[in-house]
Structure 1
Amino acid sequence: MNPQHNPGLSKSLGTLELWGIAVGLVISGEYFGWSYGWASAGTMGFLVTTFFVALMYTTFIFSFTELTTSIPHAGGPFEYSRRAFGPTGGYIAGFATLIEFVFAPPAISLAIGAYVNVQFPALDPKLIAVGAYLVFMTLNILGVHIAAMFELGVTLLAIFELLVFMGVVAPGFSMVNFVKGGWAGQDGFSMAAFSGIFAAIPFAIWFFLAIEGVAMAAEEAKTPRRSIPIAYIGGILTLVILATGVMIFAGGAGDWTKLANINDPLPQAMKIIVGENSGWLHMLVWLGLFGLIASFHGIILGYSRQIFALARAGYLPEVLERVHPKRHTPYVAILAGGAVGIAAIFSDSWITFGGQSLTANIVTMSVFGAIVMYIMSMLSLFKLRATAPHMERSYRAPLYPIFPAIALIGAFVCLATMIYYNALVAGVFAGLMVVGYVYFLTTHARRSEMLAASGSIA
Structure 2
Amino acid sequence: MEKRQELKKFLKPVHLWAIAVGMVISGQYFGWNYGFKEGGILGLAVAALIVTVFYTTFIFSFAELTTSIPHAGGPSAYAKRAMGPFAGFMAGVSCLIEFVFAPPAIAVSTGAYLHFLIPAINPVYATIGVFILFILINLIGVKEAAIIELIATIAALVGLAIFYVAGLPHIEISNIINENSFSNGGTGILAAIPFAIWFYLAIEGGAMSAEEVKNPKKDIPKGFISAILTLAVGTFFTLFVTAGLGGGLGELADYPLPQALESVYGEGSFIPTIVAIIGLFGVIASLHGIIIGYSRQTFALAREGYLPRFLSRLNSRGVPAWGLIFPGAIGVICAGSATFANALIILAVFGAVVMYCISMVSLFILRIKEPDLERPFKVMYPIVPGIALILGIVCLYSIIKYSILTTSLGVFGNEVPLLYVISFIFIVSILYYVLYGAKRVRIISDKNEEILRYNETSKVAKD
Aligned to 2:461: none
Residue 79 of structure 2 is aligned to residue 86 of structure 1: no
Aligned to 2:409: none
Aligned to 1:177: 175
Aligned to 2:395: 414
Cα distance in 1 for partners of 2:294, 2:179 equals: 39
Q: CA deviation at 1:206?
A: 0.4
Secondary structure, aligned partner of 1:74? coil
- Residue identity matched to 1:271: E
Aligned to 2:186: 194
Residue 145 of structure 2 is aligned to residue 155 of structure 1: no
Secondary structure, aligned partner of 2:289? helix
Aligned to 2:444: 450
Secondary structure, aligned partner of 1:346? helix
Following TM superposition, where does structure 1 have runs of at least 4 consecutive aligned residues deviating by more than 4 angstroms? none
Cα distance in 2 for partners of 1:244, 1:59 equals: 17
**Contact 2:194-2:398 at 8 Å conserved across structures:** no
Q: CA deviation at 1:150?
A: 0.8
**Contact 1:202-1:364 at 8 Å conserved across structures:** yes
Residue 248 of structure 2 is aligned to residue 266 of structure 1: no
**Contact 2:13-2:220 at 8 Å conserved across structures:** yes
Residue 74 of structure 2 is aligned to residue 76 of structure 1: yes
Q: CA deviation at 1:193?
A: 1.8
Per-residue CA distance 1:132-169 (angstroms, 9 max, x = gap): 11211111110100000111111111111101001111
Q: CA deviation at 1:339?
A: 0.5
Q: 1:367 aligns with which of 349, 356, 359?
A: 349
Cα distance in 2 for partners of 1:104, 1:256 equals: 23
Cα distance in 1 for partners of 2:65, 2:230 equals: 21
Cα distance in 1 for partners of 2:18, 2:341 equals: 25
- Residue identity matched to 1:99: I
Q: 1:222 aligns with which of 214, 218, 225?
A: 214
**Contact 1:110-1:359 at 8 Å conserved across structures:** no
Per-residue CA distance 1:283-331 (angstroms, 9 max, x = gap): 111111111111110000000001111111111111111110x210001
Cα distance in 2 for partners of 1:175, 1:3 equals: 66
Q: 1:333 aligns with which of 323, 331, 338?
A: 323
- Residue identity matched to 1:405: G
- Residue identity matched to 2:274: M
Aligned to 1:280: 271
Q: 1:437 aligns with which of 430, 437, 454?
A: 430
Q: CA deviation at 1:446?
A: 2.1
Residue 383 of structure 2 is aligned to residue 402 of structure 1: yes
Aligned to 2:117: 119
Per-residue CA distance 1:335-390 (angstroms, 9 max, x = gap): 11110111112333xxx5xxxxx240000000010000000000000000001111
Secondary structure, aligned partner of 2:84? helix
Q: CA deviation at 1:254?
A: 2.5
Q: 1:346 aligns with which of 304, 322, 336?
A: 336
Cα distance in 1 for partners of 2:192, 2:286 equals: 22
Secondary structure, aligned partner of 2:358? helix
Alpha-carbon spacing, 1:234–1:402, altered in 2? closer, same or farther (3 Å): same
Aligned to 1:355: none
Cα distance in 1 for partners of 2:86, 2:62 equals: 20
Aligned to 1:213: 205
Q: CA deviation at 1:184?
A: 4.9
**Contact 1:7-1:328 at 8 Å conserved across structures:** no
**Contact 1:183-1:193 at 8 Å conserved across structures:** no
What is the Cα-based RMSD across aligned positions, in Å? 1.5
Cα distance in 1 for partners of 2:18, 2:179 equals: 37
- Trace 1:382-401 onto structure 2 (pairs within 5 A): 382-397=364-379, 399-401=380-382
Q: CA deviation at 1:393?
A: 0.6
Larger deviation: 429-438 or 385-394? 429-438
Aligned to 1:131: 129
- Mind listing any 5+ residue stretches in structure 2 that lack a counterpart? 406-416, 453-463
Name the % identity.
Answer: 44
TM-score by length of 1: 0.93
Cα distance in 2 for partners of 1:427, 1:205 equals: 22
Cα distance in 2 for partners of 1:131, 1:255 equals: 29
Cα distance in 1 for partners of 2:393, 2:231 equals: 22
Aligned to 2:411: none
Cα distance in 2 for partners of 1:108, 1:166 equals: 22
- Mind listing any 5+ residue stretches in structure 1 that lack a counterpart? 186-191, 353-357
- Residue identity matched to 1:18: L
Cα distance in 2 for partners of 1:19, 1:280 equals: 28
- Trace 1:305-320 onto structure 2 (pairs within 5 A): 305-320=296-311
- Residue identity matched to 1:15: P
Larger deviation: 89-98 or 168-177? 168-177
Cα distance in 2 for partners of 1:244, 1:271 equals: 21
Cα distance in 2 for partners of 1:417, 1:276 equals: 36
Cα distance in 1 for partners of 2:266, 2:20 equals: 34
**Contact 2:175-2:249 at 8 Å conserved across structures:** no
**Contact 2:353-2:392 at 8 Å conserved across structures:** yes
Q: CA deviation at 1:255?
A: 5.5
Aligned to 1:379: 361
TM-score by length of 2: 0.92
Secondary structure, aligned partner of 2:249? helix
Aligned to 1:52: 50
